[in-house]
Structure 1
């Protein structure tokens, strides 16, 4: 996911879900009168951090958006500059001792549509635990399962695309094939030391405006596209759309619909 401009223009599903979750969970969180130090993990192009999260926070001193992609961080810093907001590069999965990078820690940690890319869930949660101050809370929102991942798996089996997708399992949510993804997530978080305030994986739907929007959305988040030779990319995207249609993501009226499970974990670091 390196095209920040494309992602910012094709992430309506992500923005909708972030707003739904924030509207429900922000009133349930404990807020300090003097303001909060907040981190947004996987800030991407920065639009959700700036336009959704920051305005909805009841009290805030500063929000730090972090992302593994330097291109995303640079785009976010240039496009969504604000005196209560900054953007930094950070790999939440592979960084060792992240509190050395952010010594003061954070009172709240949020993450939207990022952690399904993380294979080492336990290490990721350990880093989030370390970044939180005692008594802090995390609200983590990401895909538990999604037809997009099934499409990747099916595409990787095709001879014309296999060589570009040999590591497809690295880009599939570790909860994709779990019978109870929320319980699996809860077990890992509890082992790390979190109190589980709630952890659910509800089934949701999102209807895309038109086929071009679906194409742009796929292109914006597809980790394999940059590996495909430029002259074959249009065929790859066309095949991706056809594969999604075979997964019954197309309605009788022709509109494409995504049916997926969204992990929503509200965690607390004990005092």
Structure 2
């Protein structure tokens, strides 16, 4: 997931789900009169942060987008500049004492379609807890299940690909937060037949590990494995159903 331009062109599903969730949950959050310091974890190419999240926020002093990929951060900084927006490189899973990087912390933390890639969930959520100011709120949106997970599992069991792949751990919420709302939502992605390879390529965490000369074969094998999962058909189009986890969390005072 290093190709920011490709991700911008192929993240319609992520933008759609983020908009639905923000529309529902932003009115439920408490907002300070003087403005707030906002963090977006896993900002990627920056388009969701700048064009979707920021216009919906009722009161903003500063927004910071962080991502594990320096390439994504560079693209976001160049493409989505704004006087109240900054992008920084940060690995939310592996960082130690994140308040050393952001001493003032944040009153609100958002994350869209990021945390299902994180292996050490307790450490990640502890870092989010540390970054939140007392009384601050987090809204975390990530995949609980997706046909891609089954596809990656099947691919990792193949001799030609298993050395390049890792299996993701099951996501669980840690108990350091007060959970205001945790809900699993079944929904449909934008569908097409066949599933476009760009959509797979844009969010594939293993592709950069594959030798360049084998990447096309790897992507084709991914598409073939998806086809074997017998996804449902609606109106002649392939529809992949997935479960979306939405966690609205509060750091106690």
Q: TM-score surpassing 0.5?
A: yes
Whose helix fraction is larger, Structure 1's or Structure 2's? 1
Find the counterpart in structure 1 of residue 251 from structure 2: 269
Shift, 1:24, TM fit: 0.2
Report matched runs for 1:32-111 at 5 Å: 32-111=32-111
Q: 3-state SS of the aligned residue for 1:202?
A: strand
Given that residues 40 and 110 in structure 2 are in contact (C-alpha distance below 8 angstroms), is that contact kept between their aligned partners in structure 1? Answer: yes
Question: TM-score, length-normalised on structure 2?
Answer: 0.95
* 2:206 aligned residue (224, 237, 255): 224
Find the counterpart in structure 2 of residue 9 from structure 1: 9
* 2:179 aligned residue (196, 203, 207): 196
Find the counterpart in structure 2 of residue 260 from structure 1: 242
Partners of 2:46 and 2:169 in 1: how far apart?
23
> Is 1:31 aligned to residue 38 of structure 2?
no
Q: 3-state SS of the aligned residue for 2:72?
A: helix
Partners of 2:186 and 2:63 in 1: how far apart?
30
CA-atom RMSD in angstroms: 1.4
Find the counterpart in structure 1 of residue 130 from structure 2: 130
Deviations 1:99-156 (A, max 9, x none): 1111111100000000001111111111111111111000000111111011011011
Report matched runs for 1:103-252 at 5 Å: 103-165=103-165, 168-169=166-167, 172=168, 174-175=170-171, 184-185=172-173, 188=174, 190=175, 192=176, 194-211=177-194, 214-249=196-231, 251=233
Gaps of 5+ in 2: none
Given that residues 102 and 131 in structure 1 are in contact (C-alpha distance below 8 angstroms), is that contact kept between their aligned partners in structure 2? Answer: yes
- The 1:75/1:174 distance shift into structure 2, 3 A limit, reads same
Stretches (4+) displaced over 6 A: none
Q: 3-state SS of the aligned residue for 2:241?
A: strand
Question: TM-score, length-normalised on structure 1?
Answer: 0.89
Q: 3-state SS of the aligned residue for 2:93?
A: coil
